[in-house]
Amino acid sequence: MELSARARIRAGDPVAFGELFDEHVSAVYRYAVRVTGDWAAAEDIVSLTFLEAWRVRERIQLEGESLRPWLFGIATNILRNASRSARRHEAALRRVPRRDLVPDFSAEVVGRLADAEELAAARAALGRLRKAEREVFALCVWAGLNYTEAAAALGVPLGTVRSRLSRARTRLRELTDAEREPSPGGGQLKGDGRANAVRSKERHA
């Protein structure tokens, strides 16, 4: 009987793990770019995610479908750890050009991402949410996971994902609507770029 992809990865089959990498690397990179807002930092997150996935491969359950929630759970933990221990990496990251170098595999991703200003505005708004709500929003809206996958990635109940995402969207609408004030020059609204940035992400939920 032929072993499943899960069983092969769990057993340390490099070919099966390479197939997992090829299938999900762009999605993990896209998620990391949107959360960090930094191309170089996102590359580090991708590398650390798959290194950790290889290290803990024996924990993979033999039953199940996609390994995407498992990978994004690892990526989320890497992002959490990176934010807590950023001081050790900041000096090295500052020496790397932030947006001059783009990895070859991300050409498609770059075409789909919002421009830098829009991404920065969306991240700034997300930064005002609670961490738990921010993580759910990033996984469901930016990474494209469904509620069940996001729940598996975060290790929380399905209902928790639904409620956190609902609170995140409500809060983001409040934040962006609060900035829509008439400007002295007339016509344009304050924070209009940020409102459009966040709402464009919501339309992909």
User: Which pLDDT score is estimated for 127?
Assistant: 79
Residue 49 has a CB neighbour count (10 Å cut-off) of: 26
pLDDT in tens, 7-18: 999 999 999 999
Cα dihedral: 24, 27, 32, 33 (round 10): 140
**Confidence band, pLDDT 50/70/90 cuts, at residue 124:** confident
Q: What is the pLDDT of residue 65?
A: 78
| Contact yes or no for 143/108 (Cβ under 8 A) | no
Instruction: Output 47 or 200, whichever has higher pLDDT.
Output: 47
Domain extents for the chain? Answer: 1-97, 118-205
Higher-pLDDT residue of 122, 164: 164
Is 56's pLDDT higher than 80? yes
Domain 1-97: assigned CATH number: 1.10.1740.10
Report the predicted TM-score, pTM, of the whole model to 2 decimal places. Answer: 0.67
Task: Decide: 34 and 120 in contact? Cβ < 8 Å.
Answer: no
Comparing CA positions, the residue from 165, 163, 190, 193 lying closest to residue 178 is 190
Q: Which pLDDT value is given to residue 205?
A: 47
> Token match 């700034």: residue?
124
Give the per-residue pLDDT at 113: 46
Dump the DSSP string for 8-38: HHHTT-HHHHHHHHHHHHHHHHHHHHHHH--
Write down the pLDDT at residue 86: 54
Give pLDDT, residue 108.
46
Q: pLDDT value at position 118?
A: 64
Helix (H, G, I), strand (E, B) or coil at 197: helix
Cα 130 from Cα 34, distance rounded (Å): 17
The average confidence (pLDDT) of the chain is 77
Helices 39-55 and 14-36, axial angle in degrees (round to 10) = 140
From 18, 44, 30, 201, select the one nearest 105 (Cα to Cα): 30
Instruction: In whole angstroms, give the CA distance from residue 201 to residue 90.
Output: 28
Task: Give, to the nearest 10 degrees, the angle between helix 39-55 and helix 87-94.
Answer: 130
| pLDDT class of 39 with cuts at 50, 70, 90 | confident
pLDDT reading at 128 higher than 90: no
Say whether pLDDT at 43 is over 80.
yes
Q: Give the pLDDT confidence score for residue 115 in this predicted structure.
A: 54
Domain over 118-205 is classified CATH 1.10.10.10: yes
